[in-house]
Homo-oligomer: A and B are copies of this chain.
Amino acid sequence: MDRLPGFRDFYPAPAPTADGWTADARQYLFDNWREVARRYGFREYDGPPLESLELFTTKSGDEIVGQLYNFNDKGERAVALRPEMTPTLARMVAAAERHYRKPMKWFALPQLFRYERQQKGRLREHFQFNADIFGESSPGADAELIALLIDSLRSLKLTAADFRIRLSSRNAWHDFFVQRCPVTDREYDFYQVIDKLEREAPENSEAKLRALGFSLEEVRGFIQAAQPTAELARILDDLAARGLADYVTIDYGVIRGLAYYTGPVFEAFDRSGAFRAIAGGGRYDQLVKLISGGRIDLPGLGFGMGDVVLTELLRARKLFPGFEPRIDLFCLIENENLRLESLTLVHQLREAGLIVEFPLAPTKSDKQFKRALELKAAHTLRLEAMPDATRTVLVKNLESREEFRCPATDAVARLVQHRREHPRGPTR
C-alpha cells in the first residue's frame, strides 16, 4: 500500500527516500518562521483543514472547485480541504475581530491541498507560512509585512544575493489603466494579461492588449520605468531605514493573479531564476467585508510562503544544517546487575534536560559502543560497582576520547555543567 501521489512522507533525517523530505527539515523551517514572526510581534492562529466548500467559492468563484479536494460529508455538507489559508483567516477575523486591538498581526503554518493534474515535482499538498495584518491601512503596515518576509528568509541564511522582492502595486496599474481606458469593467481582464506577460508569447500579449486598447510597447515602457508611486516610495524608505533596501526592487511585471488584491503586491524570487516564486502577497482591503457579507470592514494584507520551493532553494544553496540524530549521552549497561541503578541515573539525566539513550535489552558490550557512535553521542557513561559497594561513573567524551570518573551522586551535576559549556549545535 503506497501513499497517495502528490503527498509526502516526512521521515527522520537522513531521508531514506529519493525525494529527500524529512520531518527535521520541515521543523527547521517551522522553528525559524515562528521565531521571526514572534520577534515581529505576530501571534499564531490556525483553523480547520476542512471547511465548507462555499467559503472557497465565495472568495474565488466556482472555477476553483476543479482544483479542490472537495466532497460531500456523511451529513451531506459540501466540504473541501483548504487550498489556501486566507478564506479561513478572513472567516475567523470576521467572527472575532472585536476581541482584538488593532492592528492585528497574525501568522499560521497550515498544510494546504490542491488537486492539480499530476506533474513531475508538483505536489498536491504543501505547508505555508502565512502572515497577515488587519486594521492598518498605512503603507507602514505593508513595509512591516515585507520586512517580516525578508527576515524570515534571512533567518534561513539566504542573502540579498540569493533572493529579491519584486514590489508592485495594483494602484499603480489602476492609475495606468484609467488614464488610458474609460471602460473600468475591463480592468481585471487587463490585469490578467499583465499577470501572464512573462509566461506568454509577446504576440499573444500584444493581441490581447490591443483588444483592450493598449499597446505592448506602452505597457513595457511603464514596467521598465519602474517609477514608484508615493505609496511605494514610502514602503521603500521604510525598508531602507531597516537596512533592507538591497532586497527590494520596484517591478510592475508583478501584479498577482488573484482578484482580491487592492494595493501594493509583491513576490519573492530567487535571483538565479531557477525556481518558481518563493512567496507572494499583498493588500486585500475588501476581503473581510466580502467574507463577512458586508458586516465587517477591515483593511488587510498578507503573504504566503510555501515550504516546497523554499526547501528546493535551501537544498540547492546547501543551507540546511545537518539533521543527523545526535544525543548527549549513551549510558552503557555492561553489567545487567546494574541495569536498574543505571535506569535511575538515565532518568535523572533526562530530567536535567539531557538527551540520553541506553540499551533497552541486554546487549553485547561492543554493540552498545557501536550504537553510541552511530547515534553520535557526545559521551558514553558507565555505572561501576566499587569494591566498597559505592558507585562511580566513568564518562568518556567520544570526540576527544578524554575520560573522567566521579562518584555517581555527582554525575548529573557534572554532565549538566558540561552540556551548558558545550551546547548542541543546530543539529538535533
Task: Identify the A interface with B (CB < 8 A).
Answer: 1-5, 7-12, 16-17, 23-24, 26-27, 38-41, 43-52, 54-55, 58, 69, 71-75, 77, 79, 81, 91-92, 95-96, 99-101, 103, 106, 108, 111, 113, 115, 125, 133, 136-138, 140-141, 144, 147, 151, 237-238, 240-244, 291, 325, 327, 339-341, 343-344, 346-347, 350, 353-357, 359-362, 371, 374-375, 428
**Is A237's CB under 8 angstroms from B340's CB?**
yes
**Is A4's CB under 8 angstroms from B242's CB?**
no
**Is B101's CB under 8 angstroms from A374's CB?**
yes
Chain A, interface SS category: mixed
Task: Give the nearest-CB partner of A330 in chain B.
Answer: B41
- Known A-B contacts: A16-B99, A41-B357, A241-B339. Give 12 more (CB < 8 A): A4-B48, A9-B45, A10-B46, A10-B47, A23-B46, A27-B44, A39-B356, A48-B125, A49-B111, A74-B115, A138-B362, A243-B347
State A359–B140 Cα separation when bound (angstroms).
Answer: 9
**Is A151's CB under 8 angstroms from B48's CB?**
no
Question: In the complex, which residues of chain B have a beta carbon less than 8 angstroms from the beta carbon of A23?
Answer: 43-46, 108
Contact of A355 among B39, B92, B140, B362 (CB under 8 A): B39
**Is B1's CB under 8 angstroms from A291's CB?**
yes
State A8–B343 Cα separation when bound (angstroms).
Answer: 41
State A325–B107 Cα separation when bound (angstroms).
Answer: 14
State A178–B79 Cα separation when bound (angstroms).
Answer: 49
